Amino acid sequence: MAHLMSTSCSIKISSSYRPFGQPLSEDRTVLPNSFTIKTSKSPFKRLISKGHRAGRSCGVLATAASVSKEVSANPRSGSDRSPNDSSKPQRVMVIGGDGYCGWATALHLSNKGYEVAIVDSLVRRLFDHQLGLDSLTPISSIHNRLRCWKAITGKTIELYIGDICDFEFLSETFNSFEPDAVVHFGEQRSAPYSMIDRSRAVFTQKNNVIGTLNVLFAIKEFREECHLVKLGTMGEYGTPNIDIEEGYITISHNGRTDTLPYPKQASSFYHLSKVHDSNNIAFTCKAWGIRATDLNQGVVYGVKTDETSMHEQLYNRLDYDGVFGTALNRFCVQAAVGHPLTVYGKGGQTRGYLDIRDTVQCVELAIANPAKPGEFRVFNQFTEQFSVNELAALVTKAGQKLGLDVQTISVPNPRVEAEEHYYNAKHTKLIELGLKPHLLSDSLLDSLLNFAIEFKDRIDTKQIMPSVSWKKIGVTPQTVPAN
Ligand SMILES: O=c1ccn([C@@H]2O[C@H](COP(=O)(O)OP(=O)(O)O[C@H]3O[C@H](CS(=O)(=O)O)[C@@H](O)[C@H](O)[C@H]3O)[C@@H](O)[C@H]2O)c(=O)[nH]1
């Protein structure tokens, strides 16, 4: 495998850096190549990109990038647009661009010709340190990731490190970057994390709800035309005993009919934070004329996209632990290491799933076809439905083909959720916009299993069993024992 030799540089994060939202007003972050960002009034517009443009060699040995053609037929993709056409966004701010979905999306949009800026507090990396967890794949620092991207493709992604709950920081990023679209992945996204203890529940809702509120205020104040593309979740709907519509349902009641937001029945403090976000966004679309798209995403699986596969320093994270790992990714890692697949309860829990290559495609489609001013669009972002038992059966079959002995166990369900239920959710709007789904196939499972086998030595089997109980959550802070 090709290796990237970093240039020698010192990256200093101020000792007063606060990842949980306190103002950074006088902090100074010293960046590689001796650029200094001041987070108070100084204009730090594009200082980082100047650092990249200085073009210092990263010693990249990888071959040149292949460019994805997935949605290139779309006439409104980034590179095809005339700069005078204000309805077609070109400058995209990806909040949470260092995370699993955000990183893949930032690279994809950059590859498609959009001017991209990543805004991230790096708190996701801190959660791993605090809980003693790690990604299956070794991931580079955000600075090395961006240097590598620049070295391979010649494209610059700007970087703003800070917390969007700090409105002063967010205002500066808006005024500096002047986004046409904001893709907001910058939330605490794990349901089990939000159910560890009171402080994590409070953190999740504060971080997610206030962060989104700040983004709404920033759009209103500084970039009225900016399109908000917000990552919601299919979990907002819960598992009702009727078909799930895309955001709205037409109801007749006592002789009158109206189209209303689809009822929400979230089942964790995390999923509830997304419901609160949706209500705040819907209200501000009506009250202030904000244009927004809520992408109610299902469970994402996979790790590779065209862009993250270009070099090992661009690899995406892959979580397999009981807090951040999601069902199919976990099952593939479990199979690789000979751990029985952990089906919670009866295993009839059915959800919408999608390949991470479709996440990036969906976000691009939403940006390229923006909502109208005042419109609050909701798209259900998944491609197929599976029960947990069905996923376990698919992974067992794929594992056997690779010579793995895959067993399944029923683990007492740590969550409060229906284990056998009706589930039929609509997901046609993104298909209508041109989504070409990568359906779950033997070859994807094969590749994911092989990826897990490749990094098998990094797997800490102690992190596999679930450790967070929905019923046992209490006010006492939970700490992690050193094993
Ligand atoms: O080892 C496991 C892990 C999960 N499950 C079950 O699989 C289902 C999905 O759980 P998950 O951990 O894969 O996903 P979830 O907690 O719902 O959250 C993930 O998927 C959500 C989409 S959705 O599920 O709400 O549609 C996103 O919003 C979240 O950010 C993402 O972490 C649940 O019924 C869970 O009980 C198992 O049976 N065994």
The ipTM of this complex is 0.99
Q: Both tokens of residue 199?
A: 């402080």
pLDDT confidence tier of residue 482, bands split at 50, 70 and 90: confident
The pLDDT-based confidence of 40 (bands split at 50, 70, 90) is: very low
Candidates 249, 354, 357; CA nearest to 296 is 354
CA dist 192 and 270 (Å) reads 8
Q: How far apart are CA 218 and CA 229, in angstroms?
A: 14
Query: What is the average pLDDT across 373-383?
Result: 98
Read off the pLDDT band of 22 (50, 70, 90). very low
Give the HSE-up count for residue 265: Cα atoms under 13 Å, Cβ half-sphere.
10
Shortest-distance Cα residue to atom 20 of ligand 1: 299
Q: Is the pLDDT of residue 65 over 90?
A: no
Residue 340's nearest CA partner among 390, 388, 401, 411 is 411
Name the closest-CA residue to atom 25, ligand 1: 235
- What pLDDT is recorded for position 184? 98
Residue 430 CA, ligand 1 centroid: distance in Å: 22
| pLDDT higher than threshold 50 for residue 26 | no
CA separation for the pair 473, 467 (Å, rounded):
11
The per-residue pLDDT for 49 is 34
Beta carbon of 88 within 6 Å of any ligand 1 atom: no
Q: What is the mean pLDDT of the segment spanning 114-119?
A: 98
> Lowest mean pLDDT: which of 40-54, 211-225, 363-377?
40-54
pLDDT in tens, 192-239: 999 999 999 999 999 999 999 999 999 999 999 999 999 999 999 999
Mean local confidence (pLDDT), 343-362: 98
State whether the beta carbon of 234 lies less than 6 angstroms from ligand 1.
yes
Domain boundaries, the chain: 89-461
Element (H, E) at 161: strand 157-161
What burial letters (b/e) apply to 46-82, b meaning 16+ CB within 10 Å?
ebbbebbeeeeebebebeebeebebbeebebbbeebe
Cβ–ligand 1 contact at 124 (below 6 Å)? no
Q: Is the pLDDT of residue 41 over 90?
A: no
The rounded Cα 383 to chain-centroid distance in angstroms is: 17
| Range 103-126 average pLDDT | 98
Cα(242)–Cα(261) distance, rounded to whole angstroms?
Answer: 15
What does residue 462 show for φ and ψ, rounded to 5 degrees? -70, -20
C-alpha–C-alpha distance, residues 245 and 268, integer Å: 21
Q: What angle is formed at CA 170 by the lines to CA 166 and CA 174, rounded to 5 degrees?
A: 170
Q: Could you tell me if residue 247 is left (phi over 0), alpha (psi between -120 and 50 degrees) or otherwise beta?
A: left
Condensed to tens digits (0 to 9), the pLDDT of residues 286-325 reads: 999 999 999 999 999 999 999 999 999 999 999 999 999 9
Across residues 415-429, what is the average pLDDT? 98
Q: Which atom of ligand 1 is nearest to the CA of 341?
A: 1
Residue 439 has pLDDT above 60, yes or no: yes
Binned at pLDDT 50, 70 and 90, residue 480 comes out as confident
CA atoms within 13 A on the CB side of 201: 17
**Ligand 1 atom at minimum distance from 298 CA:** 26
89-461 fold: Rossmann fold (3.40.50)
Q: How far is the CA of 202 from the centre of ligand 1 (A)?
A: 20
Determine if ligand 1 sits within 6 Å of the CB of residue 341: no
Asked whether residue 476 carries a pLDDT value surpassing 60, the answer given is yes
pLDDT the model gives residue 64 = 27
Q: Inform me whether the pLDDT recorded for 132 exceeds 80.
A: yes
* pLDDT at residue 32, rounded to an integer: 30
> What is the rounded average pLDDT of the residues 252-256?
98
Dihedral of alpha carbons 390, 271, 319, 346, sign = negative
What percentage of the chain has pLDDT greater than the value 90? Answer: 81
Cross-strand pairs, 12: 30
Instruction: Determine whether the shortest distance from the Cβ of 164 to ligand 1 is under 6 A.
Output: no
Whether the predicted pLDDT of 2 surpasses 60: no
- Ligand 1 centroid – CA 299 distance (Å): 6
CB environment 449-461: b (16+ within 10 A), e (fewer): bebbbebeeebee
Q: Give me the sheet containing 350-355, strands edge to edge.
A: 299-301, 350-355, 384-387
Residue to mutate (ligand 1; options 194, 272, 380, 388; most atoms within 8 A of CB): 388
Range of weakest confidence among 7-11, 128-132, 423-427: 7-11
Instruction: Please report the atom of ligand 1 found closest to the CA of residue 382.
Output: 26
DSSP 425: B
Residues with a known catalytic role: 233, 270, 274
The pLDDT of residue 483: 67
Q: Which amino acid is at 257?
A: T
DSSP 192-258: HHHTS-HHHHHHHHHHHHHHHHHHHHHHHHH-TTPEEEEEEEGGGS---SS-B-SSEEEEEETTEEE
Separation of 192 CA from ligand 1 center, angstroms?
9
Q: Which of 299, 295, 301 is nearest to 246 (CA)?
A: 295
pLDDT of residue 17: 31
pLDDT band at 18 (very low <50, low <70, confident <90, very high): very low
